[in-house]
Structure 1
């Protein structure tokens, strides 16, 4: 966690005005819309554009895509005008850079983590992605890459360069986010399934609880690091 940098709380996979407003009212810094058809959180660009009118100016908007080409990304940006592209597939560093150029937007690259060796990928993406999201690796038979509610071992991150900011995702929920922030010291957190009552069904109470817990935990870590 960088001293003095704003801590980012992202609620991903939103699909209704009610839950989006809960995230905004709770103080979410970023909201995410999922454009991967196999995900239970999938929405169309048209639907996302409608929701974006509620969020714009109140939180940053991230568009989650999986292994898209430059043309698709550029068309989505034209329709939605997101603040960020979140790349959640097998995009190489070269593809990440190409998507960033084509979309004209900063990109967040998700990297699946299960073991210490997985952290080596950070170096390859450091110069082509504007933000790194360290997420739990999905099960081998998974139909979609994220939102499976399984955390990874946060202690794996103890050896990371403190100057390398990253966001943390994968299995976070209102009950464990405080511990996750204390151990991993990320620059932000990203949650999806951990604030749901069923796959793809966001729970307003859990959204509010998560944001409050994350904000308090981040403040405690920040105060400790500057004391």
Structure 2
């Protein structure tokens, strides 16, 4: 599964953009959720995006954004994709896609089998789907809490759009997660950090190598 594509989210430093590029990371995520320790301003995101090589996708993560915020971001940051990580409805996803003419990735939190039908509801309007762990009750962050969900819930499932697996992925478990779910794209932030928002180049390299070396495994 050497074509597994990796997204590293919560980039805050130019050095980490360079480390991602050297490791073969396909996407970098720039976080605009103010409560996140990885949050950046539009001006900072612009500078970080400018460091990305051609072919690396720059994704901006926003949570229930209004048009004013999206206008500001899209006017300043040379981005490739908008990631909606809040409670945005399918209609809102479609509206954002139409207004900005950019691909939209919709993040969806999964906790139990009851959460699965909503994935289909967004598959018709989003360009990509991010299948993440449902945030615990009372959590400050809607995602990026470093917790996995039961990967057996989506084993063998396919949707009408490309999708990405997130939620508690690490160097040690990503190969198993890919093998169980068949994911061809994976997303993480904290598992390659030495402090919130501070990535480690060696961990990034190890994660990419683990993801691309994954093989199918039997269900547990």
Match of 1:192 in 2: 189
Please identify, of 84-93 and 134-143, the stretch whose mean Cα deviation from structure 2 is larger.
134-143
Q: Distance in 1 between matches of 2:42 and 2:154?
A: 35
CA distance in 1, matches of 2:105, 2:144: 16
Deviation at 1:50?
0.5
Match 2:103 to one of 106, 109, 131: 106
Please tell me whether the aligned partners of residues 71 and 102 of structure 1 are also in contact (alpha carbons under 8 angstroms). no
Secondary structure at 1:112's aligned position in 2?
A: strand
The SS at the match of 1:125 is helix
In the other structure, the counterpart of 2:167 is 170
- The DSSP-based 3-state class of the residue aligned with 2:203 is helix
* RMSD (Å), alpha carbons: 1.9
Q: Report deviation, 1:163.
A: 6.0
Deviation string 1:161-190 (CA, Å, 9 cap, x unpaired) is 366542100000111100000001113000
Pick aligned residue for 1:91 from 56, 69, 88: 88
Shift, 1:71, TM fit:
3.2
Equivalence for 1:35 = 32
Q: How many residues end up aligned between the 2 structures? A: 217
Equivalent positions of 1:111-150 (< 5 A) are: 111-150=108-147
Structure 1 runs of 4+ aligned residues shifted over 6 Å read none
TM-score, L = length of structure 1: 0.90
Question: 1:73: which partner in 2?
Answer: 70
Asked whether the 8 Å contact 2:133–2:166 carries over to 1, the reply is yes
Partner of 1:46: 43
Q: Which residue of 2 aligns with 1:152?
A: 149
Structure 1 residue 51 displacement after superposition: 0.9
**1:81 Cα deviation (Å)?**
2.2
TM-score w.r.t. structure 2 length?
0.92
Shift in alpha-carbon separation, 1:140–1:162, aligned structure 2, 3 A: closer
- Report the structure, 1 or 2, having the larger helix content: 1
